[in-house]
Chain A
Amino acid sequence: MKCYVCAQEGRSSDAVAVCIVCGMGLCREHAMREELDMWEGGYPFPAKKVKAKIPRILCPECYRALRGK
């Protein structure tokens, strides 16, 4: 699989990851890694943030949308 963003720019590079939201292939340069907090518990128990985080790989476009930019 090739990197979609690079292809749009007229370049060709191998994809090393896939955006979890839109599914586009991403090279190392365009893959954005985001670590999301993970919570356990909730009614009728207090919710607690656990130490482990969930890694998410996103394309630049989806990353900006996640961040509300």
Chain B
Amino acid sequence: MGDLVKRCIAELAGTALLVYFGAGAAAITLMIARGTDTGTPFNIGIGALGGLGDWFAIGMAFAIVIAAVIYSMGRVSGAHINPAVTIALWATKRFPAGEAGAYIIAQLAGAALGSLLFAASAGMDAVTIGGLGATAPFPGIGYGQAILAEAIGTFVLMMVIMGIAVDKRAPPGFAGLVIGLTVGGVITTIGNITGSSLNTARTFGPYLIDSLLGGPSLWVYFPIYIIGPIIGSVVAAFFYDYLAGEGTATA
């Protein structure tokens, strides 16, 4: 029991760091771009300063903090820091149900803590202008399209986790770097479609603290970031097992 508590604390801290630095980078970009002519309604401010370069920068912030959390806490809790990852490991019978529930609660609480700490660090502009980096579909993107984009992005993330970490044949030591860079790359493309959450907790934290501190209320979009990531990650885990399961030859 004490061991599970420590692991949940690691998940909480890891997810808090993810949201502080990753979602925080999106909030900072919006704050820097404040007042800039965005030119097109599809650009809400992120991308105004350097086109896709802004999304790449945000992606790199995510990449670096994900690598840092995996290398520092991967051995403690497994550093899922994402309910979709925990659910996919549970669905494929790699993670016990009771612990999965505790992990998800810790991840959601950690995400809220990360957003709260970011608001405390950056001030109320981070809430009112930056929205604490909350994700939402961009103008012209429908609900179904957003779910599809989130599912595809999380599918890629989970496939990489399966290939570089879960599979015992994977070369050791690369997981943090490769998974971080994967998320960074996905954000560069999907960022301007859905905000590229790939993670229910990463969206939950900014939503909750925005609501508490008077920022934008985006809860109507929350199901996108529950359904999309969970479908994407679970499908990826089963798909990987089908492709690379026992009896499958490798080069």
Q: Could you tell me which A residues sit within 8 Å of B by CB distance? A: 39, 41-47
Query: CA A2 – CA B77 in complex, angstroms?
Result: 48
Q: Is the CB of B95 within 8 A of A43?
A: no
Among B74-89, those with CB < 8 Å from A are 74-80, 85, 89
Does A47 lie within 8 Å of B75, measured CB to CB?
yes
Task: Give the chain A neighbours of B7 by CB distance below 8 A.
Answer: 46
Majority-rule SS of A interface residues: strand
A45 to B94, CA, bound (A): 9
- Which of B155-169 touch A at CB < 8 Å? 161, 165-166
Tell whether, in the assembled complex, residue B75 and residue A42 are in contact, meaning their CB atoms are under 8 Å apart.
yes
Q: Which of B94-153 contact A (CB under 8 A)?
A: 94-95
* B30 within 8 A of partner (CB): no
Q: Which residues of B contact A43 (CB under 8 A)?
A: 70, 74-75, 78-79, 165, 175-176
B154 to chain A, nearest CB (A): 14
Tell me how far the C-beta of B47 lies from the nearest C-beta in chain A, rounded to whole angstroms.
Answer: 32
Q: Which residues of A contact B166 (CB under 8 A)?
A: 44
Chain A residues whose CB sits within 8 angstroms of the CB of B78 once the complex forms:
41, 43-46
Q: Which residues of A contact B3 (CB under 8 A)?
A: 46
- Measured as residues with beta carbon below 8 angstroms from the partner, the interface class of chain B is 10 to 19
| Assembly CA distance A46 to B95 (angstroms) | 10
Residues of B within 8 A of A42 (CB): 74-75
**A41: which B residues are within 8 A, CB to CB?**
75, 78
The residue among A39, A41, A44, A47 with the most chain B CB atoms within 10 A of its own CB is A44
Ordered by A's residue number, 22 sampled pairs between the chains whose C-beta atoms are within 8 Å are: A39-B75, A41-B75, A42-B75, A43-B74, A43-B75, A43-B79, A43-B165, A43-B175, A43-B176, A44-B78, A44-B85, A44-B89, A44-B161, A44-B165, A44-B166, A45-B78, A45-B89, A45-B95, A46-B3, A46-B7, A47-B75, A47-B76
Contact with A along B54-93 (1 / 0, CB 8 A): 0000000000000000100011111110000100010000
- In the complex, A46→B76 CA distance in Å? 5
**B75 CB contacts on chain A under 8 angstroms:** 39, 41-43, 46-47
A41 to B95, CA, bound (A): 12
> With A44-B89, A46-B3, A46-B7 given, can you name 10 additional A-B contacts, CB distance below 8 Å?
A39-B75, A41-B75, A42-B74, A42-B75, A44-B79, A44-B85, A44-B161, A44-B166, A45-B89, A47-B75
